[in-house]
Chains A and B, each alone.
Chain A
Amino acid sequence: MSAYFAFARSSFHSQLAYRNEVWANIFGKLVQVFARVAIWQAAYAGIGGIVVDGVSLQQMVTYALLGGAVMGATRPERIIGEIGRSLKTGDIAVWLLKPLSYPLYLFANECGSFGYRLMTQVIPTIAFTALFYGMLPPATLFDGLMFIAFWALSFTLLFLMSALFGLIAFWLMTSFSLDWILGALLQLFSGLLIPFWFFPEPLATIARHLPFAWVVYYPNAVYLGRLSAADVWLHLGLGLAWAALFLAGVLWLWRCASTRIIVQGG
Chain B
Amino acid sequence: MLIHHLRVLPLLVRMHVRSQMEYRGAFWLDRLAQILSYGSVFATIGILLARFDTLGGWTWPELALLFSFQLLAYSLGAAMSFVQLRDLEELVRLGTFDTLLVKPFSPWAYLVFSGLNIGYAGHVILAVPLMGWAVQSVDFAWSVWSASFLIAALLSATLLTAALITMIGATALIWVRSNHLFSIFFGFWELTRYPLNIFPGGIQTILITAVPLALTSSVPVGALLGKPIPILGDWAGPVALLAGPIWVLISIAYWRYATGKYQGAGG
Contacts and interface: CB of A to CB of B under 8 A. Distances in A.
Interface of A: 18, 20-21, 24-25, 27-29, 31-32, 34-35, 38-39, 41-44, 46-47, 52, 172-174, 176-181, 183-185, 187-188, 193-194, 198-200, 203
Interface of B: 23, 26, 29-30, 32-34, 36-37, 39-41, 43-44, 47-48, 50-57, 175, 177, 180-181, 183-184, 186-188, 190-191, 194-195, 198-200, 203
A188 B45 CA distance: 10
A193 B44 contact: yes
B184 A47 contact: no
Contacts of A187: 37, 40-41, 44
A200 B47 CA distance: 7
Q: Which 4 A-B pairs have the closest CB atoms?
A: A177-B33, A42-B198, A180-B33, A28-B187
A174 B48 contact: no
A54 B30 CA distance: 41
Contact of A178 (B33, B44, B48, B184): B33
B199 A38 contact: yes
A200 B52 contact: no
Contacts of A181: 33, 36-37
Contact of B29 (A43, A174, A188): A174
A210 to B, nearest CB: 13
A216 to B, nearest CB: 12
A25 B199 contact: no
Nearest to B55: A42
B194 A24 contact: no
Contact of B200 (A38, A178, A185): A38
B44 A177 contact: no
Contacts, number: 118
Contact of A21 (B41, B180, B190, B194): B180
B40 A185 contact: yes
A29 B183 CA distance: 9
27 contacts: A20-B175, A21-B180, A24-B184, A28-B183, A28-B184, A31-B188, A31-B191, A38-B199, A39-B48, A39-B194, A42-B56, A42-B194, A43-B52, A46-B52, A46-B57, A173-B26, A174-B30, A176-B26, A176-B33, A177-B32, A177-B33, A180-B37, A181-B37, A188-B44, A194-B44, A194-B47, A198-B47
Contacts of A47: 52-53
B36 A180 contact: yes
A35 B187 CA distance: 10
B266 to A, nearest CB: 18
Contact of B180 (A18, A173, A179, A180): A18
Contact of A32 (B43, B47, B48, B190): B190
Nearest to A174: B26
Contacts of B48: 39, 43, 193-194, 198
Given A184-B37, A184-B40, A200-B47, A35 B199 contact: yes
B184 A43 contact: no
A32 B194 CA distance: 13
B200 A34 contact: yes
Contacts of A20: 175, 177, 180
A198 B199 contact: no
Contacts of B47: 194, 198-200, 203
Contacts of B190: 32, 35
Given A39-B55, A47-B53, 9 more contacts: A21-B180, A35-B190, A173-B23, A173-B26, A174-B29, A174-B30, A181-B36, A181-B37, A187-B41
A187 to B, nearest CB: 4
Contacts of A24: 180-181, 183-184
